[in-house]
A and B are shown apart, each in its own frame.
Chain A
Amino acid sequence: MREELIISGRMNPNIDPVLHIWHWQIPLYLFLGGLAAGVLFFAALYTILGRGKELKGAVQYAPFVAPVALVLGLFALFLDLKHQLYFWRLYTTIKLQSPMSWGAWTLLAITPLSFIWAALNIRIIFPNWDWRFRWLKDFEAFCRKHIIKISWVILVLSVILGIYTGILFSAFNARPLWNTSILGPLFLTSGLSTGAAVIILFSKSHKERLLFSRIDLVLIIVEIFFIVHMFMGFLASTQVQIDAASLFLGGPFTAQFWIFVVFLGLLLPAVLEALELAKFKIPAVIPATLVLFGGIMFRFIIANAGQVSRWLY
């Protein structure tokens, strides 16, 4: 039998025997970023469509989650940095070839907008809220006047943010599992789906919940379609990508991926949502929670498996 034995003298921490430089912070950051992108996307979309009054969950309640998710996500990203005192260096340059760079800039733009959106809806929580200062009141009036323009900006930025969470991975040629351009649209769809799930959790109207169950069902079907395509692409590609796919097809990540992501995170909520639309009584909380769980597992598994997949020994 032909054999190959490789012994490397290198034993760098977190690099050998397999790369493990990104721990829980990056996948959590990507999950929260995608979720905020999804929530803001729907809020902006339905404001532009002029349905803000009727879809209160999507346009008014759920967007309170976005600034919290973005700040927590940015904090997770900060924890991932190993040279934290130099954090500000991210914002002294723009490198278009580096997703990390333009992603950081996108976050810098969308985070304040998410705070403004929440501030405009503050009277839902505190009905007698008063901004006290003249200029704040003027600013509020200004934002209300230009709400459609602001919505368009948020809509575009949220799509960029959602795609970025996938491109951050797919830009790495060195990790064959990540090196597929489908990760961009796949993460965007998954982010929108988790956003829809948050809206379902926050909505008080049955009609609105049904609408978002329908949207979520479509998004889940698109996601499954992308995942099938991802595997087809891998299996028809080079040996390293075939090896990468086999991490999920018999390899060490098989059980977690198919059980947590595909079954519990996609198929089961899709079936429950379909039953709900067929007028069975299903508490909307269950599929929504499953979607959120699947979204977070998906990012953790892709982050970990990607670091295991490699070109060399």
Chain B
Amino acid sequence: MRYAMAVDTKKCVGCSDCVVACQAENNVPHGYAREWVVELVEGSYPNLEMELRSERCNHCDNAPCVRCCPTGASHIVEGGIVLVEHNKCIGCGACITSCPYDARYSHPEGYVDKCTFCEHLVKEGEDPACVAVCPTKCLYFGDLDDPRSEVSKVIKNRKYKTLIPEAGTDPQIFFLT
């Protein structure tokens, strides 16, 4: 099993509903974000192109944050989901520094926190909160090893990219372009 997510940059309108849903579902403290929307404008005026991306931890296959963790608090569970065990984390910040996507943050209570792919929901067969709430249905979640899952199908039929694959972390969030 290999959980992954696809983000349709052509359908996303940048409403940030996913961000709010995540904050509500996971009790993310005020002023912090486990996921965020990036707006990228490129080109030379007047020929400009805009891309909207809902970003979060990439649940990398080759995760440097797990490797550098001195206590084993950062670990990988079934389906490749990268998690932090709060009462093993000493808050040293090594994992925050090791993530090329800056996907982690230091929770005001001291431990490090990040996107969990809503593991507590996924375990029960539900979608992560961001996927469930997206009004344009531009987020797809599922098992890459299952060719019939939504994410496998959409990746098969569409062009996509990952973010900074050259950093060598093997990210598992696919941006449909």
Q: Pick the contact of B36 from A9, A22, A81, A89 — CB < 8 Å?
A: A9
Question: How far apart are the CA atoms of A13 and B69 in the complex, in Å?
Answer: 21
Q: Closest CB-CB distance, A96 to chain B, in whole Å?
A: 10
Is A89 a contact partner of B68 (Cβ separation < 8 A)? no
Residue of B nearest to A21 (CB): B93
Q: Which of B16, B91, B110 contacts A9 (CB 8 A)?
A: B16
Q: Out of B68, B105, B164, name the residue touching A12 (CB < 8 Å).
A: B105
- B154 — which chain A residues lie within 8 A by C-beta? none
Choice from A10, A89, A90, A172 contacting B98 with Cβ under 8 Å: A172
Question: Known: A13-B32, A81-B91. Contact between A172 and B68, CB under 8 A?
Answer: yes
B42:A21 contact, CB within 8 angstroms = no
CA distance A83 to B72 in the complex (A): 14
Residue contact B68 to A171, C-beta cutoff 8 Å: yes
- Interface centre among B38, B41, B71, by most chain A C-beta atoms within 10 angstroms, is B71
Q: Which residues of B contact A313 (CB under 8 A)?
A: 38
Closest residue of chain B to A10 (Cβ to Cβ) is B36
Whether A128 sits at the interface, judged by CB under 8 Å, is no
- In the assembled complex, the Cα of A134 lies from the Cα of B74 at a distance in Å of 47
| Interface size grouping (class) on chain B | 35 or more
Whether the pair B73, A82 counts as a contact (CB closer than 8 A) is no
For window 26-79 of chain B, which residues contact chain A by CB distance below 8 Å? 31-33, 36-45, 55, 64, 67-73
Number of residues from A at the complex interface, CB < 8 A: 49
**Interface residue from B39, B73, B91 paired with A7 (Cβ < 8 Å):** B39
Count of CB-CB pairs between chains A and B under 8 Å: 157
B68 near A100 with CB under 8 A, answer yes
Cβ proximity bits A74-106 to B, threshold 8 Å, 1 near / 0 not: 000000111111110110110101111100100
A82 touches B106 (CB 8 A): yes
- Which residue on chain B has the smallest CB distance to residue A85? B110
Chain B residues with Cβ below 8 Å from A9 are: 16, 19, 33, 36-39
**Residue of A whose beta carbon sits closest to that of B54:** A9
B144 cross-chain contacts in A, Cβ below 8 A: none
Does A311 sit within 8 A of B, measured CB to CB?
yes
Instruction: Report chain A residues within 8 Å CB of B16.
Output: 9
| Cα distance, A83 to B41, chains bound together (Å) | 39
Nearest B residue (CB) for A26: B93
CB distance from A103 to the nearest CB of B (A): 8
B171 to chain A, nearest CB (A): 11
Give the contacting residue for B71; candidates A3, A22, A90; CB below 8 A.
A90
- Stretch of B2-10, B82-90, B116-124, B134-142 at the chain-chain interface: B82-90
User: CB-defined interface of B122-155 with A at 8 Å, one 1/0 digit per residue?
Assistant: 0000000000000000000000000000000000
Contact A311 B43 (CB under 8 A): no
B38 x A6 contact (CB < 8 A): yes
In the bound complex, residues from chain A placing their C-beta under 8 Å from that of B45 are 3
Chain B residues, Cβ within 8 Å of A238: 166
| B90 and A95 form a contact (CB under 8 A) | no
Most buried by B among A4, A19, A82, A313: A82
List A residues at the B interface (Cβ < 8 Å). Answer: 1-16, 19, 21-22, 80-87, 89-90, 92-93, 95, 97-101, 104, 171-175, 238, 307, 310-313
Counting from the closest, the 5 A-B pairs by CB-CB distance are: A82-B91, A10-B36, A83-B110, A83-B91, A101-B70
